[in-house]
Amino acid sequence: MQPSSFPNVTVLDHPLVRHKLTRLRQVETSTAGFRRLTREISLLMAYEATRDMKLEDVEIETPLEPMTGQLLSGKKLCFVSILRAGNGILDGMLDLVPAARVGHLGLYRDPATLEPVEYYIKLPEDMGERLCIVVDPMLATGHSAAAAVTKLKQAGARQIVFVCLLSVPEGLRAFTAAHPDVKVVTAAIDRELDDHGYIRPGLGDAGDRLFGTK
């Protein structure tokens, strides 16, 4: 874990994450390779995103003797994917926690204003009783991420973590100003946004690279 200059932001600097992220950024990485690497990185990031989940003691029998073990307590977990690119991270997270509930939130960024526009939302019940992990590959302007978290809070979510592959200082400032109570887990903080709202050096359009579109 690498400390960040932003409150509540954790940058993962594990050698495997750095290695896979570098491969992910390369322009020659194929669609299949991009999907695989995104899935692998997201699985590693899930460990940090779920670090604060509550446990409870349970009495069990091993093949040799009784013991006190620990299991996750209460209503557990919900992943919320910001469509469409968030699904690339969602797959890896579900590999680790296949029983988690899943929500989807459709947002797109207006190319003129760079503001988020909502077109779809479907969430599990009892959001207030779950750790809600929001996934989207990029935290660029921060507006879509902040809008997504606002929607989740309106639906009752109280424990929220935002997970992304890449972020930039501009987006982190906007997001943490809107939601100072929400933890952010990212694999890297890149240099800046360009005039079109793209992260530099970045990795291109994550949705297009995941799904082979332009």
| 170 occurs within a structural domain | yes
- For residue 214, tell me if it sits in a domain: no
143 is in an annotated binding site: yes
Question: Which of the residues 62, 68, 113, 195 is marked catalytic?
Answer: 113
Please indicate, yes or no, if residue 133 is contained in any of the structural domains. yes
Between these two residues, 52 and 68, which has the higher pLDDT value?
68
Clarify whether 113 is annotated catalytic.
Answer: yes
Asked if 194 is an active-site residue, the reply is: no
Contacts of 85 (CB under 8 A, 6+ apart): 136, 137, 138, 206, 207, 210
For residue 66, pLDDT over 80 is answered with yes
Active-site residue (options: 126, 208, 209, 213): 208
Determine, yes or no, domain membership for 145.
yes
Question: Is 139 marked as binding a ligand?
Answer: yes
User: Is residue 117 scored above 90 in pLDDT?
Assistant: no
SS3 152: helix
Whether 46 maps to a domain, the answer reads yes
Q: Which domain CATH number covers 24? A: 3.40.50.2020
Round the average pLDDT of the chain to a whole number and report it: 91
Assigned domain for 209 exists: no
User: Can you give the three-state secondary structure of 61-109, one letter per residue?
Assistant: ECCCCEEEEEEECCCCEEEEEEECCHHHHHHHHHHHCCCCEEEEEEEEE
Q: Domain range for residue 116?
A: 9-51+76-204
pLDDT, mean of residues 160-166 = 96
Least confident of 40-44, 77-81, 112-116, 197-201: 112-116
Q: Is residue 1 part of a domain?
A: no
pLDDT band at 112 (very low <50, low <70, confident <90, very high): confident
Flag whether 205 is marked binding. yes
How many domains would you assign to the chain? 1
> Annotation-wise, does 138 bind a ligand?
yes
Give me the pLDDT at residue 70, please: 95
pLDDT at 82 > cutoff 90: yes
Is there a domain that residue 152 lies in?
Answer: yes
203 has binding-site annotation = no
Is position 68 annotated as part of the catalytic site?
no
For residues 120-139, give the mean pLDDT.
92
